[in-house]
Structure 1
Amino acid sequence: MGNCACLPGNKHRSTALGPVPKAVSELFQALSQGKATLTEEVVRTYLKAQGVVSSETEVHHLIASCKQAVSNRRTSGASEAGPLDIDLDEFLALLQDTDVNALHEVGKVTHDMSLPLSHYYIYTGHNSYLSGNQLNSDSSAVPIIDALKRGCRVIELDCWPDGDDQIKVVHGMTLCKPAPVLELLHAIKEYAFVASDFPLMLTIENHLPVPLQNLLAQHFKDIFGEQLFTKTSDGPLLSPNDLKRRFLISTKSTKETAEGVKGAKKPPPDLTPVAEGGIPAEEPEDDIKRTGQGPEAASNGHETAGSNPGSKRPSLAEVDAEAVVADVATPSDAAEFDKSLSSLIYIPTLKSKLVGTPASERKAIRASFSEPQFDEVAEKDPLVLTKFSQHNMVRVYPYGLRFDSSNLDPVKVWCHGGQLAAMNMQGYGRNLWLAHGFFLANGGCGYVRKPEFFYPPSTEIAANGTPVEAVFNPRQTTPVRTTLKIRILWGCDTHKRFDAMSLPDFFVRVAVCGVPVDTKKSHTKVHRNTNHPIWENELFEFPLTAPELAILALEVRESDTLQRDDFACQVCIPVAEMRTGIRSVAMKDAKGNVIPDGQAKLLVHVELSA
């Protein structure tokens, strides 16, 4: 668990906005030098030091907004502050403003975007067209549009023949209802760059005969026009900056035979599924899984929905991990394919013999792993993955028996260098929350630069005189580089009722998810019978060896003695993007949407020390 220390107790002054944490009162007294109000100049100096608004006009607007918020809630007495001064109530309102005093950087692209695509984690969808579960839900443009609005940069389309001359998108071999490919492509064209100007990749699962491959290629050209990038990826991949507002096609090569289309996806092996817990919106699964652990069903003997108790997961004890990578990276029978479609492929899947060759001598490729395949390789030899993904793209998609559209653990993929952790964006649960939070980084543009330790300079010389690259091992314990210290000062949640006869009993789960040694969780004490709990006496410490991969996960729950605790709200934030000091956090519902009108928020105090 994350270390939690309890600090001495204290009494809190009550204001129009509820009780004031002692830390806020002390800060106000320090800034005002014991006076009852803060001047406009002091407010502006404080905000500038916090890295937020600093112009005179912005400060005036913010002060007026805070005064109005407090005035609307005061039951008696007016503020003693002047027109540009603020009292303690109004200062608390300023600190609670999640637009101005957010815990993380908002809307700013801060990473170097001039490196090859393989140097970035990319916000990736899986079966992006499905509106619900993987068995009988509708295919539609709506979930694609929703994903694009969130900043998703990789959309998957499963293309199948619809008669002799049309193409449909549908999850094959299920009862899911299809959608016309043209309808989806037009929606993608319209919404592709609403949230981000950086390139949008389409991963195509191709089940089409050659004539319909020709038709699909023509649709791409007609709809995307000059924004369709068609240059082959000889040598290193281009950068996000080079490919701004361009569409990229990534698919494997296929060929038509008398038996049908080769290279099509084979049915998944009968393996015990990795259960993340597909649960209703109001019932998130009970525990945040530790990164680096194997499937619960395989490790603890518990059966999960959709599992086969009689099946046995194959072992990799006798399997070479590098051979598995090579096999995954290549459909062995894919030799010929339709030229009109193949000419549009920017990142292909190619022959296994290319996996071992120097990056400068081959094209970059994309290898797609199923969740069980990835887990096996990561367990056998994680260095194979981190090295392979230095110059190639690694995509990992959810296990085939996640019928409920639950999700794999994306942090595990990122810790092994995998760029494309494919998420069921229409699903729910903590793993999807982690993806939502991680891609808040870098202005929410859908691209997050991989840490530099994945690309270290050569430190050794082999016997033949060739430099040997050091490779990051996510399972290796390294020195602590940063310690995150956080206190939950104050909370508010009024967006729904939990108990008909009493006020709620809130507590907060506090967790950090990252490389295995950094992954820890804890929780506050239960604060009973209030909509405005204060937990500032509890300090949580998280030593971090790889802070670039760490995500802070906060989940507010309402304690219930006789049954399962009720989910209230949640948020996940990348530690690398966090700002120190007293900060406000807008909380989200189980679908990952911000709860409107400030009805649910936390006030936290954050320290990051080397």
Structure 2
Amino acid sequence: MTCCRCFLNVIFCTWFLNIIQDEFMNGKIDLHSTMKLLEKLHITFDVAHVKHVFKKTVDKRKVHTINIEDFRAIYRTIVHRTEFHELFCAYSPNHKILADTELIEFLKKEQFQTEDSEIRALEIILKYEPVEEVRKRRQLSFEGFIRYMSSEDCSIFKKDHRTVYQDMNHPLCDYFISSSHNTYLISDQLIGPSDLFGYISALLKGCRCLEIDCWDGSNNEPIVYHGHTLTSKISFSSVIHVIDKYAFAASEYPVILSLENHCSTKQQEVMAKHLEDILGDKLLTSTIGDSVVTQLPSPEALKFKILVKNKKVGTIEETMLRKGQDSHGETGEISEEEYSSEEDETDEKAPLQPKGNSSKRKGENKPSSTPRKKAKIKKIKIAIELSDLVIYTKSEKFVSFEHSLANQKCYENNSIGEVKARKFVKHSGNEFVSHTSRFITRIYPKGTRTNSSNYNPQEFWNVGCQMVALNFQTPGVQMELQNGKFLDNGGCGYILKPEFLRNHSSTFNPYNVGRYSKPMSLSIRLISGHQLPPSNLSKTNKADPLVQIEIYGVPEDQVKRKSSVIKSNALSPRWDETFSFTVQVPELALIRFCVEDEISLVANEFLGQYTLPLLSLSKGYRNVPLFSKNGGKLEPASLFVYVWYY
């Protein structure tokens, strides 16, 4: 054993020195060279932490450079984590190496990788062991173990959920669909800019339903902006060009263009021409198979297709009959109450009002608890060219659950404002679930959210709403839930709903889950943090970190647990605290890890977070990556946890 230990010390030192000695030709290196050397060793690091550790080293001597022994000490401080060493030593008899048999035992007992564990162990050694002599012996040194435990292979997010693994052959209405609200806006709803980047960003995040507000523009060219406000304008054709370029960059499954159409029939014809000319074969212009539609097609059947969601004249069958006939210049009319609940009507928008007669305006804008007498009937004119491009996603005014059940066709979908939808969730949960099991339902923010704030999407996912549209440009917990939910199924933008939200006979109610409850017992041991973002308020490199672990799901499952505070340590805080949860409906639950810096007893500063579906949790020792408020990865900042559930 002693010989083996000596051998390992020699080969590790040789490996280490071979990499770094050229940098120390002159005996000393500065901070810049230190960071370059860490990169050469393939070590990910936070610059602020390396600066801090380097400064502590040189301040002792009042110099600006370090020697080779100083560098080794800095390397160990940044890389050699005590929690990893404790785990390594539990399976390494000599505390120097893991033989392949010992690594197999670790994988089976701690990581719950019982299938093909021998092959997996060899793959880990070949991939993560930096010293060639150790690799040849089918062994893993502590250096290799660190690299493995810090890697994607030990991520808390299940590996097989990172690709499309769900059945994609169900009807479209059986899926949660990643959806954006007013996608063209990148700031507020009143005076901010409209920008093509809104579409690019949403599509690159896997968004599958984009909103386009269309208005008449000059020179017979439709424009996109938030009507009756001071938001800037972009051309409809430029929006479609961007969608054509980026539609399938992140996912090959269908994109739905939700048109909020305020254009004259003349400019609607221009819109239809742009859609056909720019999108070409990507645009869905006819039914798949039988023209008599009794069930929506699946995401699989609609791969690489772009669908238009808009009001439509007549039925799909009538459209198919009309195909081939010269319908150029024809229009159709749809009768609707002036004060309908559709998103392009009065209850979503909070338009910029002209000055004057403000008291009258306030009175006019108050919601009425009684129905208006003699509601005006208006005629909405739809150009046949545009109408005929609406195939499986026809916008239909929502009247009531009973009306939809009796009259609505499977390819007709509804848009419901968040306020009305929230009342339905609380008072008519069963009927709402029955409705969304049959028809695609889109939820959109109330018009008073002029700063582009978001509602909590979880309450609408709980009743099966497919298109829960959020302002993607606004960071916060709501978008973190959105991003976390749609990490699942390879980030393709479509998540198969649980069976109890797809079944037409379901009586599921999120406020009374009853027989649909199949509880999960979950235990999470919060072990440590690594290179957490230092506090913005700290002049040194410190933070007083704490971790909140939160469950989002049906009301009964909503819970938040808080760890203790570790004082003045953002580099390597250690908690060793266990949190236990009983989750009634794990199929709908998300778990969020949020790291904060305790500023005072009443205020904390956000440092990073990670959200994922509960059923995407991997068991065993896992690292939790952290993301910034804007959704960027804060590599290498992470938490280290142990996960167990049944």
Q: Shorter-chain TM-score: what band? A: 0.7 to 0.9
The code of the aligned residue for 1:104 comes to K
Secondary structure at the counterpart of residue 565 of structure 2: coil
Counterpart mapping for 1:512-551 below 5 A:
512-551=551-590
Paired residues for 1:24-35 under 5 Å: 24=84, 27-33=87-93, 35=95
Task: State how far apart, in whole Å, the 1-side matches of 2:220 and 2:191 are.
Answer: 25
Amino acid corresponding to residue 500 of structure 1 in structure 2? K
Distance 2:309 2:551 in 1: 33
Q: What does the per-residue CA deviation read over 1:452-505, in whole Å, with 9 as the maximum and x for residues that have no partner?
A: 112348xxxxxxxxxxx2321111043452112112211123544531146211
1:547-567 Cα shifts (integer Å, max 9, x gaps) = 111000111011112773211
| Contact 2:443/2:465, CA 8 A, preserved across alignment | yes
CA separation of 1:117 and 1:269: change in aligned 2, threshold 3 A? closer
Q: Does 1:492 align with 2:530?
A: yes
Q: CA deviation at 1:569?
A: 0.6
One of 60, 72, 96 as aligned partner of 1:36: 96
For 1:75-474, what aligned pairs fall within 5 Å after superposition? Answer: 85-88=139-142, 90-98=144-152, 101-105=155-159, 107-231=162-286, 234-253=293-312, 265-268=344-347, 337-346=382-391, 347-350=393-396, 352=399, 356=403, 362-456=409-503, 469-474=505-510
C-alpha change, 1:182 and 1:36, in structure 2 (3 Å) is same
Tell me if structure 2 keeps the 8 A contact 1:514–1:549: yes
Report the CA distance between 1:163 and its aligned residue. 2.0
Give how far 1:333 is off.
5.2
Instruction: State the TM-score, normalized to the length of structure 2.
Output: 0.73
| Structure 2 CA distance for aligned equivalents of residues 81 and 536 of structure 1 | 34
Name which of 127, 141, 159 aligns with 1:62: 127
**Aligned counterparts of 1:583 and 1:532: Cα–Cα separation in 2:** 18
Alignment CA distance shift 1:247-1:357 (3 Å): same
CA–CA distance in structure 2, aligned partners of residues 482 and 417 of structure 1 = 21
Asked if 1 retains the 8 angstrom alpha-carbon contact of 2:609 and 2:628, the reply is yes
The unaligned stretches of length 5 or more in structure 1 are 1-13, 69-78, 272-307, 320-330, 458-468
* Cα distance change on mapping 1:340 and 1:121 into 2, 3 Å: same
Partner of 1:608: 645
Deviation of residue 358 (structure 1)?
A: 5.9
Separation of aligned partners in 1, 2:364 and 2:271: 42
What is the CA–CA distance in structure 2 between the aligned matches of 1:361 and 1:368, rounded to whole Å? 13
Q: Which amino acid aligns with 1:217?
A: A
The separation in 2 between residues aligned to 1:557 and 1:483, in whole angstroms, is 26
TM-score norm. by structure 1 comes to: 0.77
Distance, in Å, in 2 between the alignment partners of 1:256 and 1:365 is 17
SS state at 1:340 partner = helix
Q: Do the aligned partners of residues 560 and 495 (structure 1) sit closer, same or farther apart at CA in structure 2, a change above 3 Å counting?
A: closer
The alpha carbon displacement at 1:100 in A equals: 5.1
In structure 1, C-alpha distance between the alignment counterparts of 2:645 and 2:336, rounded to whole Å: 58
Residue 476 (structure 1) aligned with residue 512 (structure 2): yes
Q: CA deviation at 1:55?
A: 5.9
Give the aligned length: 521
The separation in 2 between residues aligned to 1:360 and 1:115, in whole angstroms, is 23
Alignment-mate amino acid for residue 552 of structure 2: C
- C-alpha distance in 1, partners of 2:137/2:240? 54
1-structure distance, mates of 2:527, 2:190: 44
Give the Å deviation of 1:99: 5.4
* Percent of pairs with identical residues: 28
Structure 2 residue aligned with 1:323:
none
Deviates more, 1:379-388 or 1:356-365: 356-365
Q: Which letter does structure 1 place at the counterpart of 2:88?
A: F
2:348–2:445: 8 Å Cα contact kept in structure 1?
no
Q: Which amino acid aligns with 1:39?
A: A
| Counterparts in 2 of 1:43 and 1:312: CA distance versus 1, 3 Å | farther
**Alpha carbons of 1:103 and 1:269: their partners in 2 closer, same or farther (altered >3 Å)?**
closer
> For residue 488 of structure 1, what is the amino acid of its counterpart?
L
- 2: CA distance, partners of 1:313 / 1:33: 73
Q: Please give the alpha-carbon distance, in whole angstroms, between the structure 2 residues aligned to 1:270 and 1:312.
A: 14
Structure 2 residue aligned with 1:509: 548
Q: Give the unaligned 5+ runs of structure 2.
A: 1-75, 314-330, 351-361
Find the residue that maps to 1:156 and give its secondary structure.
strand
Matched residue type, 1:487: R
- Structure with the larger helix share: 2
| Cα-to-partner distance string for 1:51-100 (whole Å, 9 max, x where unaligned) | 899568843442235x69xxxxxxxxxx9998753344542332121355
Residue matched to 1:582: 621
Cα distance in 2 for residues equivalent to 1:187 and 1:448: 25
Distance between the aligned counterparts of 2:224 and 2:540, measured in 1?
50
Cα 1:44–1:384, aligned 2, differ >3 Å: closer, same or farther?
same
Q: Secondary structure at the match of 1:125?
A: coil
Q: Measure, in 1, the Cα distance between the counterparts of 2:364 and 2:336.
A: 33
Q: What SS class does the counterpart of residue 268 from structure 2 fall into?
A: helix
Alignment RMSD (CA, Å): 3.5
Cα contact 2:100–2:122 (8 A) shared by 1 = no
Three-state SS of the structure 2 residue aligned to 1:599 is: strand
Decide whether aligned partners of structure 1 residues 496 and 246 sit closer, same or farther in structure 2, where only a CA change above 3 A counts.
Answer: same
Distance change >3 Å, CA 231–CA 269, structure 1 → 2: closer
The answer to whether the 8 Å contact 2:312/2:388 transfers is: no
Aligned-residue offset at 1:187: 0.8
Deviation at 1:236, TM superposition (A): 1.2
**How far does the alpha carbon of each residue in 1:189-242 deviate from its partner, in whole angstroms, 9 at most, with x for none?**
111111111001100000011111111011111111111112358221100000
Distance 1:335 1:173, change over 3 A: closer
Asked whether the equivalents of residues 364 and 391 of structure 1 are also in contact (C-alpha less than 8 Å), the reply is no
Aligned-pair CA distance for 1:426? 0.6
1:427 is paired with a residue whose SS is coil
CA change 1:237–1:62 in 2 (3 A) is: same
What is the CA distance between 1:524 and its match in structure 2?
0.5
SS of aligned partner of 2:483: helix
Give yes or no for contact 1:354–1:362 (8 Å, CA) kept in 2.
no
Q: 1:261/1:184 Cα in 2 relative to 1: closer, same or farther (>3 Å)?
A: farther
With over 3 angstroms needed to count, the CA separation of the structure-2 counterparts of 1:358 and 1:369, relative to structure 1, is closer
Give me the whole-angstrom Cα distance separating, in 1, the residues matched to 2:188 and 2:102. Answer: 54
